[in-house]
Amino acid sequence: MDQQIELKTIDDLINKVAKYNKNKKELNKIREAYDYAYLKHQNQYRKTGEAYIYHPLEVAYILTSITADIPCLIAALLHDVVEDTTTKKEEIAEKFGEEVANLVVGITKLSRINFSTDNDYLIEYYKKIIVGMSEDVRVIILKLVDRLHNMRTLYVLPIEKQKEKAKETLEILTPIAHHLGINRIKSELEDLSLRYLKPEVYYDIVEKLNNNKLERDNAVNEMLNEVKALLKEHNIKHEIKGRSKSIYGIYKKLDTGRKFNDIYDLLALRILVKTEQECYLALGIIHSKYRHLPKRFKDFIAMPKANRYQSLHTTVFGLEGQLFEIQIRTYEMDEIAENGIASHWSYKEKKTVKEDNLSLTEQKLQFFKSIIDLKEDRLSTEEFVSSVKKDLLNNNIYVFTPKGDVIELPKGSTPIDFAYRVHSKIGDSMVGALVNNSIVSLDYELKDDDIVKIITNKNSQGPSKEWINMAKLTHTKSKIKSYFSSSMKQDNINLGKELIEKELRKKNIDFNLFYSDENIDRILQKYKLMTLNDIYLNIGNNKIGASNIIDFVFKKETVTLPKIGGHVIKNADNDIIVAGIDKVKVNLANCCNPLPGDHIIGYITKGTGITVHRINCHNLNNVTDRTIAVKWNSELTKRYLANIIIHTSKTTNNNLFEIMQRINFNSASIDSVKTLSKIDETVYEISLLVIGKEHLNKITNDLNRLTYIHNIERIIR
């Protein structure tokens, strides 16, 4: 499978460029760029064993086949310099100009993104990202050619990697090449991808093609000569050539269930003429001699494809009744068919800089229209146009999640926009944000390449109204607003909670007594509700009276618990062993969150079971008659919730991040983080899951070593 590739030299490259650009100064600049890249990549090698410089050289060489301009060729030679060496953009700008530097930076940005994915949505997204991130269409072409050379040398990678790259190429890059109309590059990328993705299929097709190649070549040649004579007879100046179908193209047809022998465009001709009229003229002449298949006739001259492809296609019965596919087009159409968008910025059409920029912008707009496909038809036309405009004006930034997923946002976006873009749940429960590992305020303006981590807390109070002004995107603002309109509901929930707790206080009933899982379940069942919030909501809405609920829970209960006996029975399912009682429901009180190692005491609730408190929990101050001795079941190794409050000096450093790191380092997991106050000192409330008291002590001791921590306390509510 190895292929012997003859290594190109810088002289080969320059000779090739000189065929379409004779400007000595510019040719010298290419040599200069080569020498520069050569030094930068010294002692670096490709996996294929060659010196690294052969890769950029080869990329530039391939680009000459589409008559790339000088800045593009120079950028090709330098394209890996920023990524793989310590070179800075400024240095390149100084030596080779801003235009080249921008191209190099553009391709470097693209190379940092890992595009492989199994998610269809992301495939669409990545296509858009590649286009959106490239200020200049040449960056995309550079990327495609860079990949082409890497695909040509893909055999050096392990099979896993080969398949991954081939898949990515086929899913993301060849569609872009197609949209840009760069068919020659697209076609080679497709064939190479297929070869690594499905080698059996690929080599099977190659073999079949080889089997009757001679026959086919003969048939094509005979037909070619006939048609040539025919057109000459009618005085149509033309060029005609036999055409081979790409292996991938054949694979696609076989994939739709066709038999190899039924693929008729295996025999194909292409006729090039000067003018559009001559295309139709030639077509008429051919149709008058050979019968054609009406269904297979296509006029892409009158109706160009989205990527501006133009040509006439017809399929005729040729010699010995064999089907031939014939394409007829002008030279200009052929150039566009092969090189697509690249045929525009090629050297020979170079206009003034301003005109050039304009047409690049136009090209990009057109390109965007074709690439943002149905997946985004949720957007209204207006939104679509404004989103494209923003992209065109390059007002977008690209930031990353901690996992490396790229998120595209308009310039000026804040962590709030980021959070809501990821998910409105993330936005609604956001309590803070880290950018590049430092805590930032929520109105911080995100910059390109920032790594953004949103800190959430499921107990958060929800977004604040100020966020509406801090958000950049209308989309974000409306999500926050919709939170508040549904928070009318929230207000009633809060009211309901207040009402019921007021009633409990009035009746002198301990909250924990009321809030047992069992009580709540009974209420939910009785009123046919789903959640505790539903209960509150119904009270807040005045649908159910708070006192009715309390009466329902406490009126008919009479708990009989066995007397505290002498012997201890193990209740293996529980965290807690209760003196004298076997199967009994035990809850850990969430006012003081006892941990294994804490001195604890049980409280016999009126409803059901036993709630376990820390012995010093103030909620038990005045009750003695209903307590029961309990102890920890030492055989369980669960994790328990501990709530701590940390007082720190008010600094702008990334204290919270460090605190979280320390906690993590001590192998406890963080359940939630809340910033309580930022007035004199910064106070955090952190809920974490620990093994027991000892574990918690170890963590707090460790945290106390941080100089900015004043004090840490465990909460009893």
Contact between 450 and Mn ion by CB under 5 A: the answer reads no
Q: Which stretch binds Mn ion (CB under 5 A): 76-84, 213-221, 477-485, 681-689?
A: 76-84
Going residue by residue from 272 to 311, which x/- string records binding to Mn ion, judged by CB under 5 A?
A: ----------------------------------------
Q: Which is nearer to Mn ion, 80 or 99 (CB)?
A: 80
Give the CA-trace dihedral at 456, 458, 464, 469, to 10 degrees: 40
Residue at 574: amino acid letter = N
Strand-pairing partners, residue 713, are 645
Which residues are marked as active site? 83-84
CB of 107 or CB of 240, closer to Mn ion? 107
Q: Is 58 in the site for Mn ion (CB under 5 A)?
A: no
Task: Please identify, among the stretches 80-88, 257-265, 457-465, 685-693, the one whose residues bind Mn ion according to the rule CB under 5 A.
Answer: 80-88
How far apart CA 85 and CA 283 sit, in angstroms, is 56
Of residues 77, 45, 10, the one with CA closest to residue 156: 45
Sequence-distant (≥ 6) Cβ neighbours of residue 134 within 8 angstroms: 106, 110, 140, 143
Does 146 interact with Mn ion (rule: CB under 5 A)?
yes
Which residue shows structure tokens 């829970």? 553
Q: Is 30 or 77 the residue whose CB approaches Mn ion more closely?
A: 77
Question: In the complex with Mn ion, which residue's Cβ is closer, 82 or 399?
Answer: 82
| 152 vs 198, beta carbon nearer Mn ion | 152
Q: Are 324 and 224 in contact (CB under 8 A)?
A: no
Among the listed residues 80, 265, 338, 503, the single contact to Mn ion using CB under 5 A: 80
Taking the complex as a whole, the smallest distance from the CB of residue 55 to Mn ion amounts, in Å, to 6
Is the backbone of residue 49 left (phi > 0), alpha (psi -120 to 50) or beta?
Answer: left
Where does this chain touch Mn ion (CB under 5 A) — which range of 24-32, 140-148, 414-422, 686-694? 140-148
Rounded CA-CA distance 343/350 in Å is 11
Distance from C-alpha of 273 to C-alpha of 329, rounded to nearest angstrom: 6
204, amino acid identity = D
The two tokens of residue 430 are 């956001």
Q: Closest approach of Cβ 84 to Mn ion, in Å?
A: 9
The C-alpha atoms of residue 717 and residue 715 are separated, in whole angstroms, by: 6
DSSP lists the bridge partners of residue 326 as 269, 314
Instruction: Provide the 3-class DSSP secondary structure of residue 408.
Output: strand
- Counting residues that bind Mn ion (by CB under 5 A) gives 2
Q: State the nearest-atom distance from the C-beta of 76 to Mn ion, in Å.
A: 9
Q: Which is nearer to Mn ion, 13 or 589 (CB)?
A: 13
Pairing of strands 640-649, 709-714: antiparallel
The piece of 144-152, 192-200, 416-424, 543-551 that touches Mn ion (CB under 5 A) is 144-152
User: Which amino acid is residue 568, in one-letter code?
Assistant: V
Task: Work out how close the CB of 58 gets to Mn ion at its nearest, in angstroms, rounded to a whole number.
Answer: 10
CB closer to Mn ion, 83 vs 445: 83
CB of 146 to Mn ion, least distance (A): 4
DSSP string, 555-618: SS---------SSB---TTSSEEEBT-SS--EEE-TTT---BTB-EEEEE-SSSSEEEEETT-G
Cβ-Cβ contacts under 8 Å for 500 (sequence gap 6 or more): 514, 535, 536, 539, 546, 549, 550
Q: Burial-class residue 107 by CB neighbours within 10 Å (0-12, 13-18, 19+).
A: buried
* Rounded Cα distance, 400 and 420, in Å: 14
Query: Considering only CA atoms, which of 191, 673, 173 is closest in space to residue 431?
Result: 673
Minimum Å gap between C-beta 145 and Mn ion is 9
Cβ-based nearer residue to Mn ion, 106 or 415:
106
Cβ contact 228:240 at 8 Å: yes
Note every long-range contact of 120-125, with CB atoms under 8 Å and residues 24 or more positions apart, other chains counting.
Answer: 121/375, 123/171, 123/172, 124/373, 124/375, 124/376
- Any bridge partners for residue 407, and if so which? 399
Q: Which range in 35-43, 72-80, 116-124, 513-521 contacts Mn ion by CB under 5 A?
A: 72-80
Which CB sits closer to Mn ion, 75 or 439?
75
Q: How far is the CB of 130 from Mn ion (least distance, A)?
A: 15
Q: Are 267 and 322 in contact (CB under 8 A)?
A: yes
Q: Which amino acid is at 76?
A: A
Q: Which residue, judged by CB position, is nearest to Mn ion in the bound state?
A: 146
The two three-digit tokens of residue 549, written as one number:
């609920």
Q: CB of residue 114 vs Mn ion: minimum separation in angstroms?
A: 15
Q: Which stretch binds Mn ion (CB under 5 A): 3-11, 143-151, 190-198, 633-641?
A: 143-151
Please identify, using beta-carbon distances, which residue of 43 and 119 lies nearer to Mn ion.
Answer: 43
Tell me the C-alpha distance between 200 and 198, whole Å.
6
Q: Which stretch binds Mn ion (CB under 5 A): 23-31, 145-153, 222-230, 580-588?
A: 145-153
Closest CB 82 distance from Mn ion, rounded Å: 11
Positions in the binding site for Mn ion (CB under 5 A): 80, 146
